[in-house]
Amino acid sequence: MNIRILGNGFSFILLMELIFCFCSNSPTRRENLIYTDPPTQERIENLNRILKVNPNDVESRVELGRLYLSKHQIENAIIQLEKAVNIDTSNTQAYLLLSLALQKRTKPELKKAVEILDRALQIDPDNDNVHLNLGQDYYRLGESQKAIEEFGKAIGLSKDTAVLISAHLGLVALYKEQGDSAGANQQYETACEIYPELKEILRQAEINKICPAPRYAGEEFREEDGIHPPLEERIRKALEEIGKSSGEK
């Protein structure tokens, strides 16, 4: 399947959504951010108690920063993670989480995030996650060549599927932006070889963009009201639109 199936209207949005989805493999992985047992709030309170007794407990500060980040308490996360890197200047995980928190501010501080990641590289120059995150920040800053270099380094260093997929999709978006269809398609096919389910994920994502799924559980698709066609018809029309955008018949 050619990358053109994404169509001009959806490609960059879908690709960047997928990049940040796959990127969640490292200290920023979503499942690592959410505690269900014990409850997150109880864990936060416990960590604060620990830090009152031992304010130099870096592991507790990093965990607390990660929990605040998961609850979208960005400023609290930044406070804890900045303290962590000041106490332990060699903690790569803290640098990665701090860079992510800076990106999530109401006004993202991408340049500062890059500075933080550069500090992490001084400690661990072969860290694939640091290079991946640098690539994403440079992409957002519009520094395409630096982004390409960092994504390439992440690919060369990593054996982790999520990192590899994220980096290849980043290169797809960059090459498409530069009008290099051949380069974009090569990166896309490589990503699909690594993770074959990617094609179906992209296809379903675009179907949902064209014809959104029900807004709430149990919403019915009625055949004759002209508003809620049956699911089969919704998918058929979506595939027709995808075919038009990719030049397929």
Instruction: Answer yes or no: is 36 within a domain.
Output: yes
> Does some domain include residue 112?
yes
Question: Regarding predicted confidence, which is higher, 154 or 36?
Answer: 154
- Cis amide linkage into residue 38, ω under 30° from 0: yes
71-105, pLDDT tens digit by residue? 889 999 999 999 999 999 999 999 999 999 999 99
Residue 67 included in any domain:
yes
> Per-residue pLDDT tens for 46-74?
999 999 999 999 999 999 999 998 888 99
Q: Which CATH number fits the domain that encloses residue 66?
A: 1.25.40.10
Report how far Cα 220 is from the mean position of its chain's Cα atoms: 32
150 located within any domain: no
Does the pLDDT at position 178 exceed 60?
yes
Max Cα distance, the chain (Å): 68
Mean pLDDT over 158-166 rounds to 89
Is pLDDT at 30 greater than 50 in this prediction?
no
Q: How far apart are CA 20 and CA 169, in angstroms?
A: 10
- Who wins on pLDDT, 219 or 167? 167
4: in domain:
no
Angle at 209 between CA 206 and CA 215, to 5 degrees: 130
pLDDT tens for each residue of 149-158? 999 999 999 9
Is 41 within the bounds of a domain? yes
Greater confidence (59 vs 32) lies with 59
The yes-or-no verdict on residue 238 having pLDDT over 90 is no
Give a yes or no: residue 166 inside a domain. Answer: no
pTM of the model: 0.73
Which residues form the domain of 31? 26-124
Overall average pLDDT of the 162-177 stretch: 90
- Amino acid code (one letter) for 106: T
Task: Report whether 166 contacts 132 (CB < 8 A).
Answer: yes
Residue 199 has pLDDT above 70, yes or no: yes
Q: Is 98 contained in some domain? A: yes
The mean per-residue pLDDT over the stretch 120-146 comes to 94
Q: How far apart are CA 150 and CA 153, in angstroms?
A: 5
Q: How many domains does the chain have?
A: 1
Between residues 1 and 77, the one the model is more confident about: 77
